[in-house]
Amino acid sequence: MELRRKLCIVVAVFVTVVGLASGNFVFKVQHKFAGKAKKLEHFKSHDTRRHSRMLASVDFPLGGDSRVDSVGLYFTRIKLGTPPKEYHVQVDTGSDILWVNCAPCPKCPTKTNLNFRLSLFDVNASSTATKVGCEDDFCSFISQSDSCQPAVGCSYHIVYADESTSDGNFIRDKLTLEQVTGDLKTGPLGQDVVFGCGSDQSGQLGNSDSAVDGVMGFGQSNTSILSQLAASGDAKRVFSHCLDNVKGGGIFAVGVVDSPKVKTTPMVPNQMHYNVMLMGMDVGGAALDLPPSIVRNGGTIVDSGTTLAYFPKVLYDSLIETILARQPVKLHVVEETFQCFTFSKNVDEAFPPVNFEFEDSVKLTVYPHDYLFTLEDDLYCFGWQAGGLTTDERSEVILLGDLVLSNKLVVYDLENEVIGWADHNCSSTIKVKDGSGGDYSVGADNLSSAPPLLMTTKLLTFLLTLIAVAFTSLA
């Protein structure tokens, strides 16, 4: 299963991919709700769909950790095939394959409200496309070599808890990235990758108003684009993102970031998601009691695909109660879910920060302007939610989504099995390392105001950038 969700507060995101050996790559990413009025049902309904999918069994032969959500909040443009053709795909750090809708596909979506035209990949129109056979190593990665039918080739079938499905076959073809050859200079570079060619979609995948052409997964398995690039020696299994929920921009980069520096905490091993050990939590210095199972089982998930933040009911009640003890307000429930109140003063001056402490004394601070959002003038709502989320073993889970991760550079280092972060202005720049010892500045942007992808050539290891942030799925 996979976790997913994307931030509904962020309007647009610019994803950057940086590489060592081959170069740096930049993806420009758009937020799903860019330019649209915020509605509370958008926040909760998206997370609810993603949660059900993440927690349900998935009939997908990827070792149990290939979960995909049908609706992403962030998307980017990529080019596939020869000659290259553009496709809009959601950037998903929780799933493990790249797949796009392919022709013919009578049940694939035909329109979207995301201001671009949907496209179907045509295997026959690409001179470099080849079918992935049963004998291919990729097929063994998804544990399908025994059941694979030679006449059909290596195929996939995904079933979600909401009964949405995706079916298709795997194809090997060129993924074209724009390589950064200097400051603000780019050139195309093609990489051979294996991706899913979807021929039959149902449920939300088939009729979503916010449909995209597919999903680009940056999960931990051998089938993800990141792992494929790493296996070929073109990339390291390191990526980072920086989401700005104030101006609506951001950066998502794969590779070694030189600055800002981040402090890291170990990832919990042998997990399908990005789990970390939460050791303590306080509200402006007032400690909260964590459920023992959370600490014992490493049940805290970092998921940039999730919009809000979800806690066990007892911890949620304690969190809200402690915040209100510092700043009393009269709460009322909006849309049967959100705790809201009227307030006319500066929330950062009146409300306390919430601090999370992780293993190795790594601290993450969430400020009032992050955990409170406005619906209209002087009307605020808490982004904290009572989740009721559990694992397959029924252990309680804390899910930290974009509400917690915004306005920070977050680094996922799969090679060293650590996750780190640092407060950062996500509308500014970060610096990525050059293999020769230098570094390049990479900045945020908006998909609609610049070319689809960017890349760079002077690094010793190939880095790839995406978001997701539109970080997608206990949904």
List residues with catalytic annotation: 92, 303
Q: Do β-strands 384-386 and 286-287 pair in parallel, antiparallel, or remain unpaired?
A: unpaired
Name the token pair of 157. 């079938």
Give, in order, the Cα–Cα distances in Å from 263 to each of 6, 17, 340, 360, 398: 24, 21, 34, 9, 21
d(CA 237, CA 227): 6
d(CA 21, CA 234): 6
Neighbours of 103 (CB within 10 A): 15
Give, in order, the Cα–Cα distances in Å from 79 to each of 88, 122, 148, 192, 269: 9, 13, 28, 12, 34
d(CA 406, CA 241): 9
DSSP3 helix / strand / coil % (the chain, rounded to 5): 15, 40, 45
d(CA 2, CA 217): 10
**Element holding 375 (H helix, E strand):** strand 372-376
Q: Which neighbouring-strand residues pair with 276?
A: 267, 300
d(CA 287, CA 315): 11
Q: Which of 340, 431, 416 is nearest to 385 (CA)?
A: 340
d(CA 475, CA 473): 2
CB hemisphere CA count around 216 (13 angstroms): 28
Burial of 151: CB neighbours in 10 Å, binned 0-12, 13-18, 19+: exposed
Alpha helices in 219-266 (DSSP H): 225-231
